[in-house]
C-alpha cells in the first residue's frame, strides 16, 4: 500500500528523514504533557507550546514551497530557505518538494495532538466534534491574517476569568468558528473572531449557531441537508481496543502481528522498529506478512470472500485527515505507541467481509444486505455499503385486489459508520445494539449516532 500519491520519493525516505524521526519523541512528550494537564493554566501552557511547534514547522513548509517554486522557474532557492536534510541533490527541484511534503506531514501530526486536546476539553462528547467538523479543513496558521486577534482572545479569556479557550486552527477536527470558550458554568461557546468589526461573517455565525443548536437542541447539523441529525444511542460504547494494544506490543518486537477480532474482522499491525530489530529483508517481510494476514483472515472466517467483498481500513497516512476519527493520541495506549501510529512507524489495518457483516446482523434478526458491488475499488465518502430493512408486521394494511402493504423503512450504512466499527474495534454487541436502537427510533432523515460514556474509553 502506498503511503502517498507522490511519485518522486519512496515512503521509506519519509520515515528515514531526520525531521520526521525527530518528531517522534516530540509527539510522545506532547501526548504525555496533554494527559498530565489537570488545570486551565496547564491547558493554556500546553496550547502555547503546541502552537509554537506548529508555527515553526509551517514557517519552514512555506519557505520550502517558495524555494521549490523558484526552482521550477530556474531560479536558485532564496537565502531564507531551510536547508534540506534528506541528503538529496540540492539542485533538483524535487528535493525541495520532498522537504515541503515532509513538513506538511509533520504539521498534520502536530494538529492531530491538537485534535486530542479538542476531544479532551469537550469531555469526549462526540456530538461537538460531529457538529463543528463540517467545513473545509483549515489552512496553515503561519502568516494567517487574524491569527493575532485569535491569540489575544485566548489570552484575554484566561487573564480575565481563568478560563480556557481553544484555538480551532490548532486542530483538524474543529472547522467551524475560530475559538471555543469554556467558562465552567455554561456549555462551551464557539466564537468567530472579527479582525475588522465592520465586516460581518454572517455565514460563519449562522454555521456556529447551527452547530450549537444541533448539539444542545437537537436541530439539524450544519449544512444544506436539514435531515442530518445527531442521534443519541443511549448505549455504552464497548470496544476491543485491548486486542489492538496487545497486537501493537507484539509487533514492536516481532515486526508483524495479525489476529482475528470478534465481529468478522482481521487486524494486522506492522511496526517499523520491530522489523528492523528482526532484521527482515524485503522478501522476508512480504512472506511473513502474507502468512500472518492469511492466518488471521482464516481465523476470522473471511478469507474466501477477499477477492470480491472484503474491505479494509487503515491508520496509514491518515493522521489529521479525517475529522470524524478519534485521534490516535486519545487511544488508551502508551504515548510512544500513539506517536508511532501518528508517524506511521506503526500501522494498523482492519479487514472485514461485507457479506459476513450482513450475516452477523441477520443472525440477530435484522434484514441486512451488503450492497457494495464486488471489486477492489476504494470506498469513497458517502458510499452506501449496507442496507438494513425493517417492516412493521403489526401495521399491515389490506389493499384492493387481495394485496397487502406493510409499512417499513431502510437504514443505510455509509462509509463513515463502517470506518468507526473497524478502526475503533467496536464490539459487535455494541454495534448491533446501536443498529437496533436506530431502527426502533423510527426517525427519518440521516442520523449521526453516538454512544455514551466515551470519556471512559478514550484518554
pLDDT digits (tens, 9 = 90+) for 256-277: 999 999 999 999 999 999 999 9
- Would you say 417 and 387 are in contact if contact means Cβ atoms under 8 Å apart? no
Nearest to 337 by CA among 221, 456, 434, 244: 244
pLDDT category at 441 given cuts 50, 70, 90 is confident
Distance CA 42, CA 225 (A): 40
Distance CA 74, CA 66 (A): 13
User: Looking at the chain, how many residues does it have?
Assistant: 459
Distance CA 177, CA 191 (A): 6
Residue 383 cell numbers, joined: 458510499
Residue 369 cell numbers, joined: 444486505
- Asked whether the predicted pLDDT for residue 177 surpasses 90, the reply is yes
Q: Which residues of 142-177 are buried (b: 16+ CB within 10 A; e: fewer)?
A: beeeebeebbebbeebbeeeebbbbbbbbbbbbbbb
Angle between helices 18-36 and 40-72 (to 10 degrees): 160
Distance CA 256, CA 346 (A): 10
Nearest to 268 by CA among 285, 251, 252, 249: 251
CA atoms within 13 A on the CB side of 183: 9
pLDDT category at 184 given cuts 50, 70, 90 is confident
The pLDDT value recorded for residue 400 is: 64
The pLDDT value recorded for residue 406 is: 47
Task: Give this prediction's pTM.
Answer: 0.93
- pLDDT tens by residue, 341-375: 999 999 999 999 999 999 999 999 999 999 999 98
- pLDDT tens by residue, 320-345: 999 999 999 999 999 999 999 999 99
Amino acid at each position: 500500500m502506498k503511503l502517498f500519491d507522490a511519485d518522486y520519493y519512496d515512503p521509506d525516505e519519509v520515515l528515514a528523514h531526520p525531521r520526521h524521526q525527530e518528531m517522534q519523541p516530540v509527539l510522545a512528550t506532547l501526548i504525555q504533557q496533554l494527559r498530565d494537564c489537570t488545570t486551565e493554566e496547564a491547558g493554556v501552557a500546553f496550547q502555547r507550546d503546541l502552537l509554537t511547534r506548529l508555527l515553526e514547522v509551517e514557517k519552514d513548509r512555506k519557505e520550502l514551497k517558495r524555494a521549490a517554486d523558484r526552482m521550477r522557474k530556474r531560479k536558485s532557492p532564496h537565502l531564507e530557505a531551510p536547508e534540506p536534510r534528506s541528503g538529496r541533490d540540492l539542485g533538483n527541484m524535487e528535493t525541495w518538494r520532498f522537504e515541503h511534503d515532509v513538513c506538511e506531514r509533520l504539521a498534520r501530526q502536530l494538529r492531530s495532538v491538537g485534535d486530542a486536546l479538542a476531544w479532551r476539553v469537550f469531555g469526549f462528547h462526540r456530538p461537538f466534534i460531529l457538529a463543528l467538523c463540517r467545513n473545509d479543513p483549515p489552512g496553515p496558521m503561519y502568516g494567517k491574517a487574524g491569527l493575532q486577534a485569535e491569540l489575544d482572545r485566548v489570552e484575554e479569556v484566561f487573564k480575565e476569568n481563568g478560563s480556557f479557550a481553544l484555538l480551532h486552527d490548532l486542530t483538524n477536527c474543529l472547522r467551524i468558528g475560530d475559538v471555543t470558550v469554556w467558562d465552567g458554568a455554561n456549555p462551551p461557546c464557539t466564537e468567530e473572531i472579527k479582525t475588522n468589526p465592520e465586516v460581518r461573517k454572517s455565514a460563519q455565525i449562522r454555521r456556529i449557531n447551527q452547530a450549537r443548536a444541533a448539539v444542545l437542541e437537537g436541530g439539524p447539523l450544519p449544512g444544506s441537508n436539514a435531515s442530518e441529525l445527531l442521534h443519541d444511542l443511549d448505549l455504552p460504547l464497548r470496544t476491543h481496543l485491548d486486542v489492538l494494544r496487545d497486537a501493537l506490543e507484539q509487533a514492536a518486537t516481532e515486526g508483524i502481528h495479525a489476529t482475528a477480532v470478534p465481529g468478522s474482522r482481521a487486524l494486522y499491525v506492522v511496526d517499523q522498529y520491530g522489523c528492523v530489530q528482526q532484521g527482515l529483508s524485503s522478501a522476508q517481510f512480504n512472506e511473513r506478512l502474507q502468512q500472518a494476514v492469511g492466518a488471521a483472515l482464516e481465523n476470522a472466517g473471511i478469507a474466501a470472500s477477499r477477492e470480491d467483498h472484503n474491505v479494509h481500513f487503515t491508520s496509514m497516512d491518515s493522521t489529521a485527515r479525517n475529522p470524524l476519527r478519534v485521534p490516535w493520541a486519545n487511544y488508551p495506549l502508551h504515548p510512544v505507541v500513539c506517536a508511532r501510529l501518528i508517524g506511521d512507524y506503526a500501522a494498523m489495518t482492519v479487514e472485514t467481509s461485507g457479506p459476513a457483516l450482513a450475516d452477523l446482523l441477520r443472525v440477530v434478526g435484522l434484514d441486512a444486505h451488503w450492497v457494495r458491488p464486488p471489486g477492489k475499488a476504494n470506498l469513497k465518502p458517502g458510499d452506501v455499503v449496507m442496507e438494513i430493512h425493517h417492516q412493521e408486521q403489526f401495521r399491515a394494511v389490506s389493499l384492493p385486489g387481495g394485496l397487502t402493504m406493510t409499512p417499513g423503512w431502510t437504514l443505510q450504512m455509509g462509509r463513515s459508520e463502517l470506518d468507526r466499527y473497524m478502526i475503533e474495534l467496536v464490539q459487535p454487541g455494541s454495534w448491533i445494539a446501536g443498529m437496533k436502537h436506530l431502527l426502533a427510533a423510527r426517525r427519518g432523515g440521516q442520523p449521526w449516532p453516538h454512544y455514551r460514556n466515551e470519556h471512559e474509553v478514550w484518554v
